[in-house]
């Protein structure tokens, strides 16, 4: 937790980061969003690099949120609502490992909460297939080029 402003950070990959960022930007308690790449081996990759599928990175949204206004569990609920977590390395028309479903946890508490949430969701019977979402420790986050930040908002587009 950032002691100066009491904000916490979460990182989610759920397909193309443009729509995912817009979904989280509209959640009360989320104070900042930015899109980028995480989970791979290439340092400081460009969008073009990540699109090759050879960097190992996923397109992700990193967000800062106020846990007094929105809980990590509520963010997980949103995460699972905005994409199809049973798809392996794809979302809609986008395919490749960069579009995988992944939660990058920052603290042991986030890991535990994410694992419990995924297990409860899996046992709920909502999905006919196994949930493909990875839960992995957060590594370096590489911010995507500026034109990707709040892309849909800049273009006047809405999430489908």
* Residue 1 domain flag: no
Residue 65, CA distances (Å) to 16, 54, 144, 159 in order: 21, 31, 20, 21
Task: Give the domain range for residue 92.
Answer: 8-155
What local confidence, expressed as pLDDT, does residue 130 receive?
96
* Residue 144 domain flag: yes
Q: What is the CATH classification number for the domain harbouring 24?
A: 3.30.1060.10
3-state secondary structure of 81: helix
What pTM does this model have?
A: 0.92
Is residue 3's pLDDT more than 70? no
* Residue 133 domain flag: yes
Q: How confident is the model at residue 67 (pLDDT cuts 50, 70, 90)?
A: very high
State phi, psi for 122 to the nearest 5 degrees. Answer: -60, -40
State phi, psi for 19 to the nearest 5 degrees. Answer: -70, -35
* Residue 38 domain flag: yes
- The two tokens of residue 90 are 């794809």
What local confidence, expressed as pLDDT, does residue 1 receive?
54
Q: Which of 9, 12, 13, 16 is catalytic?
A: 16
* Residue 3 domain flag: no
What local confidence, expressed as pLDDT, does residue 4 receive?
60
* Residue 2 domain flag: no
Domain count across the chain? 1
Active site residue 16: yes
* Residue 80 domain flag: yes
* 78-112 confidence digits (pLDDT tens): 999 999 999 999 998 889 999 999 999 999 999 99
Is residue 160's pLDDT more than 70? no
* Residue 124 domain flag: yes
């Amino acid at each position: 937790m950032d002691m100066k402003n009491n904000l916490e950070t979460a990182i989610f990959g759920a397909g193309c980061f443009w729509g995912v960022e817009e979904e989280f930007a509209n959640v009360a308690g989320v104070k900042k969003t930015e899109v980028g790449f995480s989970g791979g081996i290439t340092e400081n990759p460009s969008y073009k690099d990540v699109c090759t599928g050879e960097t190992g990175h996923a397109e992700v949204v990193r967000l800062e949120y106020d846990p007094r206004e929105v809980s990590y569990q509520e963010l997980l609920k949103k995460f699972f609502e905005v994409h199809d977590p049973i798809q392996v390395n794809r979302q809609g028309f986008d395919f490749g490992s960069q579009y995988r479903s992944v939660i990058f946890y920052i603290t042991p508490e986030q890991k535990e909460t994410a694992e419990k949430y995924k297990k409860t969701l899996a046992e709920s019977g909502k999905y006919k297939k196994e949930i493909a979402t990875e839960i992995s420790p957060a590594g370096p986050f590489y911010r995507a080029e500026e034109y990707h930040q709040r892309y849909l908002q800049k273009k006047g587009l809405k999430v489908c």
